[in-house]
Amino acid sequence: MKHGLAILKKKTYNDGIELPEEIFEFLAVNISNNIRELEAVLISLYAQSTLNRKEITLDLARMMVEKLINTSRREITIEYIQKIVCEYYKIRLTYIQGKTRKREIVQARQVSMYFSKSLTKASLASIGSHIGGKDHATGPGMRVKLLITLSILTTAFPKTRLMKLRRN
């Protein structure tokens, strides 16, 4: 993100904004996704400083970065979970939503169902409708399958992927 930091420094210089080096370093470390996020925090810092007639400090930068992180978190959806699971298992989304009973597809479907139930507020009926058009009658059986899937997950699905789902 050195390139982004250089752009940010140039932008602040061109706009006549002086920032301590520690703030640049803090922003570079905590916002490494893209230059737009860096610019958004910079604009927020400048606006807060101007409106409140306060100096731009490291504490103010921390507050703006925290706001950005909290607002940029998206709600996890069944569709997003299916996408991540399909990427991991290297299968098409249509397979997980279909009716095939091939072992690798069934396992991916069960993993998707497990994460959908544990990471969203969706009902079993809603999850079933997203996965192969299953109706609510599948629900009670799905609970048992989800428990079995939990044991599969501990070895089959890396914790880093789970953490990625929970972070986003």
Q: List the domain boundaries for the chain.
A: 2-72, 78-167
Architecture of domain 78-167: Orthogonal Bundle (1.10)
pLDDT digits (tens, 9 = 90+) for 26-65: 887 777 667 777 777 888 888 888 778 888 888 888 888 8
Question: Is the pTM value of this prediction over 0.85?
Answer: no
Confidence tier at 88 by pLDDT (50, 70, 90): confident
Contact status, residue 153 vs residue 114, Cβ threshold 8 Å: yes
- Predicted confidence at residue 136, as pLDDT, reads 45
φ and ψ of 163, to 5 deg: -65, -35
Q: Is the pLDDT of residue 68 over 90?
A: no
Rounded Cα distance between 121 and 124, Å, is: 10
pLDDT digits (tens, 9 = 90+) for 25-35: 888 777 766 77
Contact status, residue 99 vs residue 134, Cβ threshold 8 Å: no
Contacts of 131 (CB under 8 A, 6+ apart): 82, 96, 97, 109, 112, 113, 116
- H/E element, 5: helix 2-14
CA-based radius of gyration for the chain: 22
Architecture of domain 2-72: Orthogonal Bundle (1.10)
Q: Is the pLDDT of residue 92 over 90?
A: yes
